Amino acid sequence: MIEKINPALRNKAIEYWSDFQFIFKTLYPNSEERDLLDIIETINTAYLNRKDSLKEIDKKRELVKDWHLDQKWVATMLYVDLYAGNIKEMENHLTYLRELGINYVHLMPLLEPREGQADGGYAVKNFRKVNAKLGSNDDLIALIDKMHAEDQIIAIDFVMNHTAKEHEWAQSILKGESRFKNYYYLYPNRSIPDQYERTLPEVFPDFAPGNFTYQEEINQWVWTTFNEYQWDLNYSEPKVFNAMLGEMLFLANLGVDILRLDAVPFLWKKMGTNCQNQEEAVMLLVAYKYLIQLVAPGVLFKSEAIVAPNDIIRYLGAGGYEGKACEIGYNATLMNHLWHAIACENTMLLRTTLSKLPPIPPSSTWINYIRCHDDIGWGISDQNAADVGQNGHETRMFCSAFYTGQWKNSFAQGYNFQIDKSNGESRISGSTAALIGIQKSFIENKKEDLAHAINRFKLLHGVIFFLRGIPLVYAGDEIGHLNNFDYLKDTEKREDNRWLHRPVMDWNKAKLRNELGTVENVLFNIIANFSKRRKETQCLHGNAKETIISLKCNTIFCVEKSLKEENLLLVANFSCDFQLITKLELPEKWQGKSFKEVISSTSYLYQGDTLIIPPYGILWLKEITEKVSHLKAYRLKMEVQTVPGESVYFIENVSTASIDEKIRNITCYWVDDLGWHVDLNLVQGEWLSYHWVKMYGNTLIEKSKDFYYHAM
Ligand code: GLC
């Protein structure tokens, strides 16, 4: 069968096809040869349609497989219409994003949605067409090209769990045709739906109760986990797998770098379960990953799985599929535990939960975020709460009470979203500024409270810019968007209070970022500075080792990072009092040092034997070492002849001739008329031995003799 795959993909197919087939057969034991042939046809077509420029990007990324772990990436997410009006206009805002240091932009759903209510675009009518209100496919391609030219990357949603009821597949069924009848879950009466409902939770109990919707036209019940107009696709049908593969590859071929796979926990249904996080849902992503690695290996998957801590990481491949599922995942666990910690001025639950999580695969990373377009769900497990002497239910109830301002001394002004009637627990809507206390301090005109609120803003962002993952700043947070009630005037949005924190970008407010002393100026600079410091700090690369340090003081969150020779220490005080750490509490390597505080770029010292951390203070401490101060940048020329398509790699150590991390980490670059070069930071006066390796794709073409270099 493999011989049917385009010859250009043959070598790679040898690597992936049998693994793919195995997983496909496990998912679809009754599938036929025809199903696999259809898949081959889909990948061959997509490969032929993939532009050469994208194939070039694929090639580069295959050589530096961990490119997404680089600390240089800083992300945002935004709705094109609310931010810029349309896709063409987005170009005018790239400079603003650059000012913030943002180079990874997630454009919220932008494919043709159904008319009327569309769950913010998550009800897609046509996966192959950009929403005409935002522009055309060509506009999107032009924007992507422009962004790529400036080393910016783009993510878009692939809403893979469901389609809009107006999608042609669903419409065909509603017309009584049979061609797509297995594409969705349809039932002639309530018998099976009722059996499922016994164990199914509700995602939107307030405005979309139940998981099935009656369709009068065909006298059938259809599975609708979310809204009644979002029909769940039936992934137990191999034809759906192939059809959605075609849609996925079509989007990949527009040039997007990352596909955000929406609502992945719901992809596989099993009677008697909650139909979330089934093993098969992960396997589906693994199967798709094999195929995308074949056709568009430069494209990454980002999972949107806002579920319990131990389930979230399964979509990153933890637990058997390391390196084979999604490369990126939303770190909802960190997000909601940070909000919990800052509400109760206690980091025990945060520390315990993070420490207990199995490590994520080395090739994966997180999107670390404080806020996004959705509500905040309190994904705090009963067990983790019990481990710190708390009751899970009470803790989650506390969080909701606190963030809706119902708790004494609460600084937050959020709103309940979807109350679970069985236990009273709820999720929360509201903008960062409203939840962190900026809004309340404005309303009450309390300067001191505003200062605390800004420090909390800095603290939470300082943590997400530090920890393993790509930090994401929700668009508008950098200028302190408050809760916005315009959505109440819009009949399509008024039922859903998540629109409170999805306002039109306030560009007048954004202008205030340039006026000293304004809140906008302070918040904007906090983010821009974190981006800058992060990019300069090698130790924040995703490959660094991360260790949570348990200090006696439970309001302090302390994490150590180590990469090669460099160490970095995060010290974050989640209370609004001064806190002290004595030297002896810290690992030995931190005890006798004077530090550089990276965020403020100043030196930091023990006061006697104590580190003093101000209210909501955050420090990124780095040891001051002699070596660092003598580093100088050098550019070395490689004496090597190449033909087009070949690449050159610099290897610092003669013993590392095999294709290992070093080969991938130090990539040479081509300068016209001058040849291949590499940039290095070296200690003056030091000798360096190295060689170069010439590659064509994954094939080693030539390896140099050893060279020596004296850094003068
Ligand atoms: C995801 C989206 C959310 C949407 C849901 C259904 O969770 O983030 O906004 O409502 O999927 O598509």
| Contacts of 476 by beta carbon, 8 Å cutoff, 6+ apart | 78, 431, 503, 505, 506
| Contacts of 119 by beta carbon, 8 Å cutoff, 6+ apart | 226, 227, 230, 496
Strand partners, 212: 223
Q: Return the structure tokens found at 18.
A: 């049998």
Our mutation pick for probing the ligand 1 site, out of 165, 207, 374, 376, counting the most ligand atoms within 8 A of Cβ, is 374
Give the three-state DSSP class for 473: strand
Residue type for position 437: G
pLDDT: which is higher, 593 or 365: 365
The whole-number average pLDDT for the span 584-597 is 87
Task: Decide: residue 21, CB within 10 A, 0-12 exposed, 13-18 middle, 19+ buried.
Answer: middle
Annotated catalytic sites, by residue?
262, 304
Task: Give the residue from 424, 436, 431, 382 showing the smallest Cα distance to 400.
Answer: 424
**Ligand 1, atom nearest to 498 Cα:** 9
Q: Are 677 and 635 in contact (CB under 8 A)?
A: yes
The whole-number average pLDDT for the span 500-508 is 98
Tally the C-alpha atoms within 13 A of residue 442's C-alpha that lie toward its C-beta. 17
Tally the C-alpha atoms within 13 A of residue 534's C-alpha that lie toward its C-beta. 31
Q: Is 579's pLDDT higher than 60?
A: yes
pLDDT band at 625 (very low <50, low <70, confident <90, very high): low
Task: Give the residue from 585, 589, 618 showing the smallest Cα distance to 604.
Answer: 618
What is the per-residue pLDDT for 656?
36
**Ligand 1, atom nearest to 119 Cα:** 10
Q: Are 616 and 579 in contact (CB under 8 A)?
A: no
Asked whether 119 lines ligand 1 (CB < 6 A), one says yes
The per-residue pLDDT of the chain, averaged, comes to 93
Determine the Cα angle at 278 with ends 214 and 20, to 5°.
Answer: 110
d(C-alpha 96, C-alpha 116), whole Å? 32
pLDDT band at 653 (very low <50, low <70, confident <90, very high): low
What is the per-residue pLDDT for 710?
73
Q: What is the pLDDT of residues 298-308, one digit of tens each?
A: 999 999 999 98
d(C-alpha 548, C-alpha 36), whole Å? 46
The count of residues in the chain is 712
Q: Is 623's pLDDT higher than 60?
A: yes
d(C-alpha 318, C-alpha 363), whole Å? 11
Asked whether 212 lines ligand 1 (CB < 6 A), one says no
Our mutation pick for probing the ligand 1 site, out of 262, 306, 375, 499, counting the most ligand atoms within 8 A of Cβ, is 262
Point out the least confidently predicted range of 242-256, 532-546, 694-708.
Answer: 694-708
Q: What is the pLDDT of residues 12-48, one digit of tens each?
A: 998 899 999 999 999 999 999 999 999 999 999 999 9
Residue whose tokens read 């995602």: 203
Q: What is the pLDDT of residues 108-117, one digit of tens each?
A: 999 999 999 9
Asked whether 374 lines ligand 1 (CB < 6 A), one says yes
| Distance from residue 510's CA to the centre of ligand 1 (Å) | 28
Atom 7 in ligand 1: which residue has the minimum CA distance? 263
Task: Give the residue from 39, 14, 4 showing the smallest Cα distance to 698.
Answer: 14
Residue whose tokens read 């590392």: 656
Q: Is the dihedral of CA 78, 80, 85, 89 positive or negative?
A: positive
Asked whether 263 lines ligand 1 (CB < 6 A), one says yes
Q: Is 632's pLDDT higher than 80?
A: no
Q: Return the structure tokens found at 242.
A: 């192939």
Q: Is 628's pLDDT higher than 50?
A: no
Q: Are 238 and 25 in contact (CB under 8 A)?
A: no
Task: Decide: residue 219, CB within 10 A, 0-12 exposed, 13-18 middle, 19+ buried.
Answer: exposed
pLDDT band at 595 (very low <50, low <70, confident <90, very high): confident
Our mutation pick for probing the ligand 1 site, out of 77, 111, 122, counting the most ligand atoms within 8 A of Cβ, is 122
Atom 11 in ligand 1: which residue has the minimum CA distance? 263
Q: Are 62 and 297 in contact (CB under 8 A)?
A: yes
d(C-alpha 203, C-alpha 200), whole Å? 9
Q: Is 664's pLDDT higher than 70?
A: no
Where do runs of H (alpha helix) occur along 254-364? 279-295, 309-312, 332-344, 348-356
d(C-alpha 586, C-alpha 579), whole Å? 14
| Distance from residue 610's CA to the centre of ligand 1 (Å) | 47
Buried b (16+ CB within 10 A) or exposed e, 201-212: ebbbebebebbb
In eight-state DSSP terms, residue 373 is S
